[in-house]
A and B are shown apart, each in its own frame.
Chain A
Amino acid sequence: MIILVLPDVAEDDAHLEKARRGDEESIVTIYHNYFDPVYQYCRLRVGDAHTAEDLTSEIFIKFIKALKRDTAPHSSLRGWIFRVARNHIYDHYGREQDLPSETLENWAASDADSDPETSALRAMSIERTRRAIRMLAPAQQEVLMLRFDQQLSLQETADIMGKEANAIKALQFRAVNTLRQILRDLEDEDN
């Protein structure tokens, strides 16, 4: 299942404006709007639910402190939050980017899958995809999550990753190509 909330930039900026003045409800609204994307990003990258939870809450606490210090952005909140999330994950695991590559929890199939066989197949395919993502190099994981999962634009992704747009084009192409190869290998292993 995918439920994704894409930000409404005008509304986002309006909430941000109030949030910068310390308006609690505006900050909480931003938290609700961005929790899912930030948590999904952390959890796909980190794998462990508790660590992802800790990282996500720390990212929002950083955001609140940045509002107070007046270092939070005036616009383009989405890019800013993902940049903070990315840096925070690196800070957590060290700059050598030694992110865990195993320890995926078992995927719980959705309740909506009434047919157990369909449910099992779907769960296996999801599990395989997630395993494949985690086997990619960190930069490849990132570019795929930002471009395909979070649907950020090329330029937003480039800004977050500190690269040129052309470099992102090449990176995303190679990342998907590698993902395909890994998926093929995993499928062979499973069969």
Chain B
Amino acid sequence: MAARDTIFDAFDRCIDRIHRGETVDAVLQDYREFANDLRPMLEAGLLLPRARFPAEVVSGVEQSLEPLIRETIAAVFKGGAIAGTTLLLLLLLAGAIITVVVVVLATRGDTASPPTATAAPLIAPSSTPPAALTRTPTPTVTPTATASPTAAASVTPSPVVGVIVIEGAVSAINGNIITIFDREIALDPDDPRLTTIQVDDVLRVEGRQEGVIIRVINITFISVTVVVEGDQVWRDDNCSSPPPVWAQGQAVGWQRRCGGGVNNPGGNGGGNGDSGGDDDDDDD
């Protein structure tokens, strides 16, 4: 499939796969004809997220602007959508009542004069109700608007939904909990990567917030190549620790740095599913 890809297509696919958590090395396995050109490009592109402003700073601004947002909601929606639908319902109700009364009076058919006398005042209010009807919901809307500034102070914990992505150096490891920028991240206690993660390793972690802890969905090693196969782990520490056969398909960096002799990555070493890595466990 990659054979007919232009370098633009290949670059685009690589970006998507890296976003799904694959490493540059793993992705370039499928684009060997462009690998030399794409590697520095991808590495430069990956610098971009590192230019982001610190989360603490952004969070401070976010909190400081929240009262303004709540005030705006109150101002914009005061007598807005809720009053509008209530008004519509009441108008429909009034219309229904009028219809029923008219039908009842018509079926009675006793005297000609009383029906017209009662019908007139009944129809008249339905043209004035806007003022009367909108006034009814107002008392419930106004207190909400005035209550909002106090509510703002209590809603400090940001209700994070979705997937949180943290990238940074591991500052502490305690059992199955690793810490990155004071955020505690829980791995499965049986996760084989626990045996290889070290303090100062730069990781990209995708996870979900569960209370104060982030539960890992996916981990990518940024500063070092780590290959996991079942419960076996190989870590590219230095040239004296060559990759075992099952890791050779993804140990491109080690082969580039530490020289040949090992094998050609195009051989059968990568047959353990490395090229099938396009379906990460990032589904949910």
Contacts and interface: CB of A to CB of B under 8 A. Distances in A.
Q: Do A and B come from one complex?
A: yes
Interface of A: 1-8, 11-12, 20-22, 24, 27-29, 31-33, 35-36, 39-40, 43-44, 49, 53, 56-57, 60-61, 64-65, 67-68, 108, 110, 112, 125-126, 129-130, 133, 144-145, 147-149, 151, 153-154, 166, 169-170, 172-173, 176-177, 179-180, 183
Main DSSP-derived SS at the B contact region: helix
Interface string B153-166: 00100111111111
A67 B182 CA distance: 37
Which range holds the interface residue count of chain B?
A: 35 or more
B41 A112 contact: no
Secondary structure call for the A interface:
helix
Interface in B141-185: 144, 148, 155, 158-169, 171, 181-183
Interface stretch (B63-71, B100-108, B233-241): B63-71
Contact of A147 (B15, B61, B163, B167): B15
Contacts of A148: 15, 45-46, 48-49
A67 B72 CA distance: 12
A31 B181 contact: no
Interface of B: 7-9, 11-12, 15-16, 19, 40-41, 44-55, 57-59, 61-62, 65-66, 68-70, 72-74, 76-77, 80-82, 144, 148, 155, 158-169, 171, 181-183, 204, 206
Contacts of B169: 112
A112 B52 contact: no
B55 A64 contact: no
Contact of B161 (A4, A11, A36, A177): A11
Contacts, number: 188
Given A1-B54, A129-B51, A22 B162 contact: no
B213 to A, nearest CB: 15
A2 B168 contact: yes
13 contacts: A3-B164, A5-B162, A6-B206, A24-B73, A35-B62, A60-B65, A68-B81, A110-B181, A147-B15, A148-B48, A151-B19, A179-B45, A180-B40
